[in-house]
């Protein structure tokens, strides 16, 4: 339950600190006094988004802080899962800075808005007129039935399997699309792959072939040069080898006279050895240089093939052609792989469908068992609320579609009077009837949930008199097991509360602020009398107020 609320610099509120008790609390005030502001501030600590328009003074930050007593509600696992410190008196704080940035804290630990929203699900149900409209929506109607049917475990199990099922279906669709695309290009890809495979390409091959081609294409020129080199080296009278040897012999005669001559002799000897080796290499190369037109033609053909493939695939190197070949090979091979993966996914999906069907059958069965209980309880409460002839027709039909909460389609029909046909709630129920039905629903749900706090924001819309009195009694009965707040304009409901708070505006000079205070018994009599007769409070109104409070 919420035990305290502190608000600073929010809308018309400069600073407000208020404590709350358990039981049934009433909040009243004139239209525009600030009741919606109070709910707006509470919405901040429950994770709703905020902006700079929330700040009363745009130069200062807004702070909203709420204390919750949560010791009875087994929320330790939530705090552990979110790595938060668990305190039986938990404090949630929200700050909106002048820059527009927002910060949130649970027990002084920074959290994001999603965590606030997740925690608020276990703390407070704020019922507004908008939620009354949800009563006619199938999703909300299922929530009512599932709460009575105690389907939480079944639904959790179903949604876990459904998540796997939808993921598998998405994956299957993706793989089928991929396979379809590959199959369309399969023949062409195979042709391209086989063309590259038969080319028997090797990385760097083109460069080597080009060198060999140049050599073979210039055999005569090379051989002529080699012959000239050999003649220059080996000529009997003036050959380089003969002259080098004579040079060496003459230098050797001086080598004994100084180390300098000796060093020059050794260097000459090294030159002679190296040059002799060069001549031998040239001689061997000359023997290998052979005019081979067939080999030249083969190399030319291979080079033309490589050039053609490079142009076809718009690349510059054999390495890039090899990469393309690998990609094509993967595409060709992936057909088989994809077909195997698709077969496995189809088997998995079939198994998941069987699991979903089994769980959905349990959900359907428990829902059908819960419907008579729901109808009886609704009729019993609504009879008290001035609807003696109300009837409900709630039917479930199993579909072939896997919805987020099972396989059921729901028909939730309503008739308020004898002799009238059943119709959809949103079409045949008046605003007052919808308010009463929603209160009945909330009253029933309170018996099946462990929610600490519920806030009714003008659920009494469209009702008055004895019906309002009965609504107040129902809310007071709910407050025996949970904390209940009612924001109301009706004195009959206001008189039923254990505690009564008033929202009012105060003008200070040029400044208007909203305030909230807990009324004393005397103040409460005056407030209810004013609700009965207006600003001019009569003695009869005061007596009537005392009678209501009695």
Which pLDDT tens digit goes with each residue over 301-311? Answer: 888 888 888 88
Please spell the DSSP secondary structure of 358-404, one letter per residue: HHHHHHHHHHHHHHHHHHHHHHHHHHHTT-TT-EEEEEEEEEEEEET
| Residues forming beta bridges with residue 102, ordered by sequence position | 96
Let me know how long the chain is.
550
**Four-CA torsion 82, 85, 87, 90, nearest 10 degrees:** -60
| Residues forming beta bridges with residue 503, ordered by sequence position | 516
Q: What is the 3-state secondary structure (H, E, C) of 282-340?
A: HHHHHHHCCCCHHHHHHHHHHHHHHHHHHHHHCCCCHHHHHHHHHHHHHHHHHHHHHHH
8 Å CB contact between 352 and 168: yes
Confidence of residue 136 (pLDDT cuts 50, 70, 90): confident
What tokens were used for 358? 């089994």
Domain boundaries, the chain: 1-131+450-519, 205-316
8 Å CB contact between 542 and 531: no
Res 107 pLDDT > 90: yes
Please spell the DSSP secondary structure of 508-542, one letter per residue: ETTEEEEEEEEPPHHHHHHHHHHHHH-SS--HHHH
What CATH code would you report for 1-131+450-519? 3.40.50.300
User: Which position has the higher pLDDT, 327 or 518?
Assistant: 518
Task: Name the most confidently modeled range: 30-34, 245-249, 448-452, 502-506.
Answer: 502-506
Q: What is the strand order of the sheet 62-69 is part of?
A: 13-19, 2-10, 62-69, 89-96, 102-106, 109-111
Please give the pLDDT value at position 304: 83
* Mean pLDDT in residue range 391-408: 93
CA distance 31 to 257: 127
Q: Is 46 helix (H, G, I), strand (E, B) or coil?
A: coil
pLDDT tens-place string over residues 40-67 = 889 899 988 877 777 888 888 899 999 9
Cα Rg, the chain, nearest whole Å: 46
- Kindly tell me the sign of the dihedral angle through the C-alpha atoms of 22, 28, 29, 35: positive
Res 288 pLDDT > 80: no
pLDDT tens-place string over residues 316-346 = 888 888 888 888 777 666 677 888 889 999 9
Q: What is the 3-state secondary structure (H, E, C) of 440-500?
A: HHHHHHHCCCCCCEEEEECCCCCCCHHHHHHHHHHHHHHCCCCEEEEECCCHHHHCCCCEE
Smallest CA-to-CA distance from 241 within 210, 278, 204 is with 278
Please give the pLDDT value at position 312: 85
Looking at residue 112, what DSSP letter applies?
-
What tokens were used for 158? 């179903």
Res 134 pLDDT > 90: no
Average confidence score pLDDT of the chain: 87
8 Å CB contact between 396 and 368: yes
Q: Is 87 helix (H, G, I), strand (E, B) or coil?
A: coil
Confidence of residue 230 (pLDDT cuts 50, 70, 90): confident
Express as a percent the part of the chain with pLDDT over 90. Answer: 41
8 Å CB contact between 441 and 135: yes
Please give the pLDDT value at position 334: 67
Looking at residue 33, what DSSP letter applies?
S
8 Å CB contact between 318 and 206: yes
Res 269 pLDDT > 90: no
CA distance 491 to 468: 9
CA distance 166 to 288: 71
Q: At what angle do helices 205-217 and 219-234 cross, to 10 degrees?
A: 70
Helices (H), 99-151: 113-120, 129-134, 138-149
* Mean pLDDT in residue range 200-228: 77
What tokens were used for 342? 């698709």
Res 292 pLDDT > 70: no
8 Å CB contact between 502 and 520: no
pLDDT tens-place string over residues 333-388 = 667 788 888 999 999 999 999 999 999 999 999 999 999 999 999 999 999 998 99
Please give the pLDDT value at position 245: 84
Res 485 pLDDT > 90: yes
């Amino acid at each position: 339950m919420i035990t305290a609320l502190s608000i600073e610099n929010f809308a018309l509120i400069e600073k407000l600190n208020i404590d709350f008790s358990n039981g049934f609390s009433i909040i009243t005030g004139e239209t525009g006094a600030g009741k919606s502001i109070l709910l707006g501030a509470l919405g901040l600590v429950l994770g709703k988004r905020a902006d700079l328009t929330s700040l009363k003074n745009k130069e200062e930050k807004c702070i909203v802080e709420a204390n919750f007593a949560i010791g009875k509600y087994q929320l330790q696992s939530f705090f552990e899962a979110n790595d938060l410190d668990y305190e039986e008196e938990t404090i949630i704080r929200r700050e909106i800075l002048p820059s527009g940035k927002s910060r949130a804290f649970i027990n002084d630990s920074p959290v994001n808005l999603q965590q606030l929203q997740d925690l608020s699900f276990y703390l407070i149900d704020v019922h507004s007129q908008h939620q009354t409209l949800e009563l006619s929506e199938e999703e909300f109607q299922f929530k009512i039935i599932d709460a009575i049917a105690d389907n939480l475990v079944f639904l959790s199990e179903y949604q876990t399997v459904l998540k796997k099922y939808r993921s598998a279906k998405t994956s299957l669709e993706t793989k089928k699309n991929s396979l379809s695309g590959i199959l369309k290009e399969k023949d062409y890809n195979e042709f391209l792959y086989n063309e590259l495979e038969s080319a028997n390409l090797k990385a760097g091959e083109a460069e080597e072939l080009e060198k060999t081609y140049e050599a073979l294409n210039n055999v005569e020129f090379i051989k002529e040069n080699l012959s000239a080199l050999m003649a220059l080296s080996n000529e009997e009278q003036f050959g380089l080898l003969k002259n080098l040897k004579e040079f060496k012999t003459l230098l050797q005669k001086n080598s004994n006279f100084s180390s300098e001559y000796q060093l020059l002799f050794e260097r000459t000897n090294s030159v002679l050895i190296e040059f002799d080796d060069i001549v031998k290499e040239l001689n061997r190369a000359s023997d290998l240089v052979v005019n081979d037109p067939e080999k030249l033609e083969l190399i030319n053909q291979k080079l033309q093939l490589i050039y053609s493939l490079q142009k076809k695939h718009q690349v510059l190197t054999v390495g890039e052609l090899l990469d393309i070949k690998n990609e094509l090979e993967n595409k060709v091979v992936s057909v088989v792989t994809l077909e195997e993966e698709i077969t496995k996914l189809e088997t998995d999906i079939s198994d998941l469908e069987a699991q979903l069907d089994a769980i959905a059958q349990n959900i359907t069965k428990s829902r059908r068992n819960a419907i008579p209980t729901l109808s009886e309880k609704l009729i019993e409460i609504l009879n008290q609320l001035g609807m003696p002839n109300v009837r409900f027709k709630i039917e479930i039909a199993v579909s072939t579609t896997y919805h987020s909460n099972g396989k059921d389609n729901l028909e939730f029909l309503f008739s308020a009077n004898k002799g009238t046909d059943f119709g959809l709630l949103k079409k045949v129920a008046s605003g007052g009837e919808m308010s009463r039905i929603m209160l009945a629903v909330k009253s029933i749900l309170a018996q099946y949930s462990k929610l600490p706090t519920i806030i009714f924001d003008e659920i009494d819309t469209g009702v008055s008199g004895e019906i309002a009195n009965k609504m107040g009694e129902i809310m007071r009965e709910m407050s025996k097991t949970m904390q209940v707040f009612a924001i109301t304009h009706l004195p009959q409901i206001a008189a039923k509360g254990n505690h009564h708070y008033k929202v009012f505006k105060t003008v200070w000079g040029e400044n208007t602020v909203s305030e909230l205070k807990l009324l004393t018994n005397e103040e409460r009599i005056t407030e209810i009398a004013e609700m009965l007769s207006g600003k001019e409070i009569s003695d009869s109104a005061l007596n009537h107020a005392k009678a209501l409070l009695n």
